Amino acid sequence: NAGVTQTPKFRVLKTGQSMTLLCAQDMNHEYMYWYRQDPGMGLRLIHYSVGEGTTAKGEVPDGYNVSRLKKQNFLLGLESAAPSQTSVYFCASKVAGGAYEQYFGPGTRLTVT
Amino acid sequence: EDQVTQSPEALRLQEGESSSLNCSYTVSGLRGLFWYRQDPGKGPEFLFTLYSAGEEKEKERLKATLTKKESFLHITAPKPEDSATYLCAVQTAAAGNKLTFGGGTRVLVKP
């Protein structure tokens, strides 16, 4: 099992450009999450999904959109990138319900200039 | 609003020098408290889940404990390979089984 994978690993964007980050998991997990991690801020939840076709806002959703068309994939989109979106982005997944652990991907380092 | 605070922010240890990391939390209805380890440039790696006050879990040189207001991660006789950032997170009954993370403790173990 590959677990949770993320593509790309690194990306540099110019202000105003758009991009999509892809998260894939092969554990048949129902729930999936997108976080950003910034120095001094810890991990903050952007959006999450509790199943195929569903999405919901997290703590810091502004400037991001997500889609969960297939159970195994969770896409994070930036429509018009801003320097404030420079961060490391992590995807995670878990089984449905209960206080079970989330499994994290390796991260995508995004720089917006 | 759920809050999680970790201390200290950074910890320098000599190999073999035991120490403890603190995670204090303010939540409504704790369902689980999680500890993760994160190496530079990598995603968080799950270590433990604690569910109720008084619970303890161990893995090699790590032992996690939980009270009603805080959790401790004890590192016994650490080795250089224990150097990492340790993250604490809480889950409540809120929709989506969301986690609220603390800021982490960076641990450096010198040989």
Per residue in B3-56, pLDDT (tens digit) is 999 999 999 999 999 999 999 999 988 999 999 999 999 999 999 999 999 999
**Which of A43-47, B35-39, B83-87, B93-97 is least confident?**
B93-97
Task: Please name the residues in contact with B28: beta carbons below 8 A apart, sequence gap of 6 or more.
Answer: B2, B92, B93
Please, is B60 exposed, middle or buried when counting C-beta atoms within 10 Å of its C-beta (0-12, 13-18, 19+)?
Answer: exposed
Low pLDDT (below 50) residues in chain A: none
Residue B37, both tokens: 């380890």
Is the Cβ of B43 closer than 8 Å to some Cβ of chain A? yes
Strand partners, A92: A33, A104
Facing residue for B96 by CB, picked from A31, A40, A103: A31
Q: What is the pLDDT of residue A97?
A: 79
Minimum distance, in Å, between the CA of residue A100 and any CA atom of chain B: 8
Is the Cβ of B29 closer than 8 Å to some Cβ of chain A? no
Q: What is the pLDDT of residue A73?
A: 98
Q: What is the pLDDT of residue B93?
A: 84
Q: What is the pLDDT of residue B94?
A: 85
Average pLDDT, chain B: 96
**Cβ(B36)–Cβ(B50) under 8 Å?**
no
Q: What is the pLDDT of residue A21?
A: 98
Strand partners, A57: A47
Q: What is the pLDDT of residue B95?
A: 84
Which residue is listed with tokens 């035991």?
A: B18
Task: Please name the residues in contact with B54: beta carbons below 8 A apart, sequence gap of 6 or more.
Answer: B66, B67
Average pLDDT, chain A: 96
Q: What is the pLDDT of residue A9?
A: 97
Q: How far apart are CA A113 and CA A17, in angstroms?
A: 10
CB contact under 8 A, A56 and B97: no
Q: How far apart are CA A84 and CA B79, in angstroms?
A: 37
pLDDT over 90 (residue B78): yes
